Amino acid sequence: MTDKIDLLVEIGTEELPPKALKKLSDAFTAGIVTGYQAAGLAADEVIEYAAPRRLAVWLKGIPAQQADQHIEKRGPAVQAAFDKEGNPSKAALGFAASCGVEFAALERLETDKGAWLVFRQQQPGQKTADLFPKIVDQSLANLPIPKRMRWGDGAAEFVRPVHWIVLLADEAIIDAEILGIQTGRESRGHRFHAPAPINIHKPEDYAVQLGEAYVIARFEARSDMISKRVQELATELGGQAIMPAALLDEVAALVEWPVPIAGRFEEKFLEVPQEALIHTMQGDQKYFGLTDAHGKLMPNFITISNIESKDPSKVSEGNERVIRPRFSDAAFFWEQDKKQTLAARREKLKTVVFQQQLGSLHDKSTRVANLAQYIAQQLKADESLAVRAAELGKCDLVTNMVFEFTDLQGTMGRYYAQHDGEAAEVAQALEEQYLPRFAGDQLPSTETGRILALAERIDTLAGIFAIGQKPTGTKDPFGLRRLAVGVLRMLIEQKLALDLADLLDQAADNLTAQLGKKPDMQEALDYILERLRAYYQEQGINAELVEAVAALKPTQALDFEQRLKAVVAFRQLTAAESLAAANKRISNILKKVETAIPAEVNPSLLKESAEQALAASLQAQQTKVLPLFATGDYEQALLSLAHLREPVDNFFNDVMVNTEDEALRNNRLALLNQLRGLFLRVADLSVL
């Protein structure tokens, strides 16, 4: 049984960037695991640690030494290894030199294709601990750090200055220099509660010793502790903590020893839209707000301190003092903004540039209003609501509140529209126009919100492509990928029967006055349809199935979805493989035909029983499936067409298509063409 050891590395630093801590830790751990995998080694368990002043990894139960390796390198053929005098050739000597041995040390390898020179060596495995410094170095070098810094007089670079490095194999120090620092066993505890150095005995003691020094080393443990204690304190206060995952992660990355402390603010601030207060607490101060049982914000908050204060009330007072002026600013902005309606602010949009070639936000909102009206017409929705929402859609961007808190765009638009007495659906649409904001986000819940969200995205996509600023492999400054996926999600998931080509054409019409000519939208259409492929790939749908539908170039996303569902269901049938092969065969036959194929099948020319049976089955299926095509029920249509398997198989077994009789040949081609055309009403099954 192979002996196993435990390894530990800790990189002790000044405070690491909180938003990058988890990413750095994951990458550091992955780099070490990958390094050992390349050396043929793997630990029984890998435990990752990440705290504000440290990155650490414990490799638990890793073999103490690599297995011995048998190396075999093949050189030149024996016939090329000697000159006419029988002396080693330059090629042979060069091969020996590359292996670090004399020519006499090379051996001969006999194969079916001849004899070759070969170098063989039994290389003993290296000690795992000896590999550790280099693997750690390599992992550190590969970390995703946009900008590295130097400190002191050394040349080492890292995201923050490094002050100590622990490197242990069981209880022994691995002697090395990493980032210009000599390794050892000396770590540090909490900066204030336990500032004295700590000698780590062995890897398994690491977390325990740090815990005794007021450091919870594991990121997940701190995060769980914060979540549990904040919720407990919130319950004591009669509320529930607002705890988004991103905020919890950031707070966990800011503290080593989390201590929750409650605070209050004046109830008068609750007159301000609660999203503005929550944004201020979370974004600026990293506070957790509280809501009551009805989801209303309470005049309480919870902060996470990094110290066990002797007088928590003083800490609480300080936190309250910090938040008060920020809330006062928000209250001031709210009161000032309400003095002017959103509609009155629309003129100011003329002074805000959307994009130099595409004009101002006023120009954009006008285009969006035209497109929203068109979409409303297609969906038989309320055109006046759609147009009004589009006209007001960007007006909150010139308010004081949104200028100060840009993340509140749309949300404040809803509040101001409600205050102005706008229709409830218009107000809701002003917020919903930004949905979905990211992958998996909720979609607009109102019809007007959906229309505005679509019109906004289509106008941006059309405009940016029209001026030649399409995304590249690495750059997408306008976030067109996200916009395109948002459009597709709404069309498919909310079952909106809108044609992308028509929407882009309408958007192009709206751009004509701005650009001086109507732009071509083919590239934009292709881009969105390409995102459709990615959309289905992420759902784990086989690419062949997607391509079978894409081959027909449908431009209505909902129709694409319905066709794809039909193909997915068809693929499960026992008849699928045979019919897919038949479609491929028919496609190849028809491609080779150079003359015109008759549009109709002549029954009098159906001589063979197999072709008569296929023609009859085809006619019967047409009667069944044409109404299904008309209603978009492609799944039932394909299930019905699957009954053609037997007559199709019999046809190819018993009938010669390319007979010398031209009339018979053309009639059989017409029959196959009709069969192929019927399947193509759903998808190109020859792709499968």
pLDDT of residue 263: 97
Q: Phi and psi of 310, rounded to 5°? A: -70, -20
**Closest to 61 (Cα-Cα) out of 85, 80, 42:** 42
**Closest to 52 (Cα-Cα) out of 1, 110, 12, 98:** 12
Mean pLDDT of 608-631: 94
- 159 HSE (CA, 13 A, CB side): 25
Q: Number of helices (H) and strands (E) in the chain: give both, helices first.
A: 25, 20
Q: What is the largest CA-CA distance in the chain?
A: 104
Distance, CA of 546 to CA of 571 (rounded, Å): 12
Residue 590: count other Cβ atoms within 10 Å of its Cβ.
14
**Closest to 432 (Cα-Cα) out of 416, 413, 418, 419:** 413
Residue 678: count other Cβ atoms within 10 Å of its Cβ.
18
pTM value is 0.83
Residues 6+ apart with CB under 8 A from 636: 628
**Lowest mean pLDDT segment, chosen from 112-126, 302-316, 427-441, 550-564:** 112-126
> Can you say whether the dihedral through the CA atoms of 606, 607, 610, 616 is positive or negative?
positive
Q: Phi and psi of 49, rounded to 5°? A: -125, 140
Distance, CA of 425 to CA of 447 (rounded, Å): 8
Q: How far is CA 595 from the centre of its chain?
A: 50
pLDDT of residue 2: 61
Q: Are strands 114-123 and 69-77 parallel, antiparallel or unpaired?
A: antiparallel
Question: At residue 341, what is the residue type?
Answer: T
Write out pLDDT tens, residues 159-208: 999 999 999 999 999 999 999 999 999 999 999 999 999 999 999 999 99
Q: Which residues are 292's β-sheet partners? A: none
Q: Is 574 helix (H, G, I), strand (E, B) or coil?
A: coil
Q: Does the pLDDT value for residue 1 go beyond 60?
A: no
Write out pLDDT tens, residues 313-366: 999 999 999 999 999 999 999 999 999 999 999 999 999 999 999 999 999 999
The number of residues making up the chain comes to 688
Q: Does the pLDDT value for residue 103 go beyond 50?
A: yes
Q: Are strands 107-111 and 54-63 parallel, antiparallel or unpaired?
A: unpaired
148 and 159 in contact (C-beta within 8 Å)? yes
Write out pLDDT tens, residues 32-89: 999 999 999 999 999 999 999 999 999 999 999 988 877 888 898 888 888 888 889 8
pLDDT of residue 63: 95
**Closest to 393 (Cα-Cα) out of 445, 339, 433, 333:** 433
Quote the mean pLDDT of the chain: 95
Distance, CA of 510 to CA of 448 (rounded, Å): 20
Q: Does the pLDDT value for residue 423 go beyond 50?
A: yes
**Closest to 429 (Cα-Cα) out of 410, 416, 407:** 410
**Closest to 342 (Cα-Cα) out of 358, 360, 365:** 365
Mean pLDDT of 569-597: 91
Question: At residue 296, what is the residue type?
Answer: K
Residues 6+ apart with CB under 8 A from 92: 75, 76, 80, 81, 82, 103, 106, 117
Question: At residue 398, what is the residue type?
Answer: V
Q: Does the pLDDT value for residue 633 go beyond 50?
A: yes
460 vs 354, 431, 502, CA distance in Å?
10, 18, 15
With residue 450 as reference, give the H or E element that holds it.
Answer: helix 447-466
**Closest to 305 (Cα-Cα) out of 294, 314, 296:** 314
Write out pLDDT tens, residues 222-231: 999 999 999 9
